[in-house]
Amino acid sequence: MERTFIMLKPDAIQRRLTGKIITRLEERGLKIVAAKMLQITRELAMEHYQEHKNKPFFNNLIDYITSAPVLALVIEGENSIKLTRKIVGATNPQEADPGTIRGDFALHTGRNIIHASDSPKSAEREIKLFFNEDEIYDYTMPDEKIIYEPG
Ligand code: UDP
């Protein structure tokens, strides 16, 4: 089973969308294996978004993501990295398909309510940045055998 890193950004928390967003992931059959509410330090934010450090939007992004609490999650499931990126939708919510989280709940790229890792390498890196291994849980969903075809 593949793990991915999800973060509900400050606008998702303040707009009280956490329940709706998490429900979409859960109803799809994905499993929450770790969750943590925290206010990100500038240091952690810069590390998390290091690939964007030379981009013009970087400072605004860091100001925004550190401005209020976020909810960090580790999600597990078959092909979870690609699948959650599809559920989340395009970076610019105005280009995100209706039915996606960004396509249904957001309007601006700088306020696009959720982060999801974009590759196995970034998922591994981001999970390690936010969670210790003992904060990630191993348990069985009773309907796993119904959700996944055996074999
Ligand atoms: N971002 C922004 N302006 C831009 C591009 C990106 O504010 O022009 C922010 C936005 O919050 C986005 C994050 O930077 O989610 C990371 O950008 P990336 O291209 O990695 O998009 P994502 O993987 O989040 O879809």
Confidence of residue 106 (pLDDT cuts 50, 70, 90): very high
How far apart are alpha carbons 106 and 75 in whole angstroms? 22
Confidence of residue 151 (pLDDT cuts 50, 70, 90): confident
Tell whether 47 is covered by a domain. Answer: no
Report the CATH number that the domain containing residue 13 is assigned in CATH: 3.30.70.141
Tell whether 45 is covered by a domain. Answer: no
Q: Per-residue pLDDT tens for 115-145?
A: 999 999 999 999 999 999 999 999 999 999 9
Which ligand 1 atom sits nearest the alpha carbon of residue 61? 7
Confidence of residue 45 (pLDDT cuts 50, 70, 90): very high
**pTM, to two decimals:** 0.97
94 CB within 6 A, ligand 1: no
What ipTM is given for this predicted complex?
Answer: 0.98
How far is it between the farthest Cα atoms of the chain?
A: 48
Tell whether 42 is covered by a domain. Answer: no
Domains held by the chain: number: 1
Q: Is 115 a catalytic residue?
A: yes
Could you list the residue range(s) of the whole structural domain that residue 101 is in?
2-36+71-147
Binding residues for ATP: 9, 57, 85, 91, 102, 112
Own/partner long-range contacts of 136-140 (Cβ < 8 Å, ≥24 apart): 136/3, 136/33, 136/34, 136/74, 137/33, 137/34, 138/33, 139/31, 139/33
